[in-house]
Amino acid sequence: MHAFLDDLITLLKLERIEDNIFRGESRDIGSPQVFGGQVLGQALSAAQHTVEGRVAHSLHAYFLRRGDINARIVYEVDRSRDGGSFSNRRVVAIQHGRPILNLAASFQTPEEGLEHQAPMPDVPGPDGLRSLHEFASDLPDSVPMKMRRFLTEKRPFEFRPVRPLEFEARQRLEPSAHVWIRAMGELPDDQSLHQNLLAYVSDYELLGVSTLPHGLSFIRDNVIMASLDHALWFHRRVRMDEWHLYSIDSPNASGARGLSRGQFFSADGKLVASTSQEGLVRVVDPNAARQRSHPREQG
């Protein structure tokens, strides 16, 4: 298994402190705070540790404060309900005595039912597309160092965007994107693990699509972006060590917030998960942007 993927799996397992309390480490992936997908994946993992025989079908989370990369995160689970077919859990992620994320997750005993789904977008497959790492090797000198590090950091997933990346272009584009994603190695047949990994990777690319119609880029200092909430629905079994198309669109931006939606399709066209996220998208003076506190710190 790829070393970075093995490390991520270890990161998502968590340490059990008591029956309903868990603790996790963080990893620096080049962003100024803990990656939101990491907290999502760990919070879901904490909830999964308190459920038996049922699989997650949805989660809803609010990001409250930025996470400190250098501090452990404590996850407290409330076993809200265990019914005949469904279980519900509430999770609070805590650092320095304050919550940084609230999450609710619902689990269901697997059963058969009606079947239909949205069609998979007609886009080129992953073969022949350049990876994000290959695009990052062509970064222009104008890209800030902190963003250069974020884009070139080695990751447990391979990303192959369908549309070539333009780091300096300012043209206005349609608010949509498609990227192929696959874990960097073979994984065990553990559906909870694959769901954790999908939750982790679902925070990539999502909010940035809301800036495309405005000719803006998250690599510039005059755009402040931060995830506010995140929802995820699991429709079918998923294997994150196989190629999946992440299809994203943004139906709205207003009030200094952008809304993005995503769908994960397996290579054979099955819709395995859907997600949505709203986040802060604020255009400010570059000097003010560097001095402004991160919204998750303001509470």
Give residue 46's identity as a one-letter amino acid code: A
Which residue among 48, 203, 217, 250 is the active-site one?
203
Q: Is 202 a catalytic residue?
A: no
Residue 174's CB: how many other CB atoms inside 10 A? Answer: 11
CA distance 93 to 81: 19
CA distance 115 to 117: 7
Return the sign of the alpha-carbon dihedral for residues 168, 171, 177, 178: negative
**Which of 15-37 are b and which e, b meaning 16 or more Cβ less than 10 Å from the residue's Cβ?**
eeeeebebebebeebebebbbbb
Q: What residues contact 118, with CB distance under 8 A and at least 6 apart?
A: 263, 271
Q: Is 227 a catalytic residue?
A: yes
Query: How distant, in Å, are the alpha carbons of 174, 177, 191, 230 from that of 260?
Result: 13, 11, 26, 10
Least Cα distance to 161 among 225, 209, 224 occurs for 209
Q: Is 45 a catalytic residue?
A: no
Which DSSP state fits 268?
T
Bridge partners of 81? 88
Would you tell me the crossing angle of helices 191-201 and 36-48 to the nearest 10 degrees?
A: 160
Residue 293's CB: how many other CB atoms inside 10 A? Answer: 8
CA distance 236 to 88: 19
Which residue among 227, 247, 250, 263 is the active-site one?
227
Active site residues: 203, 227, 277
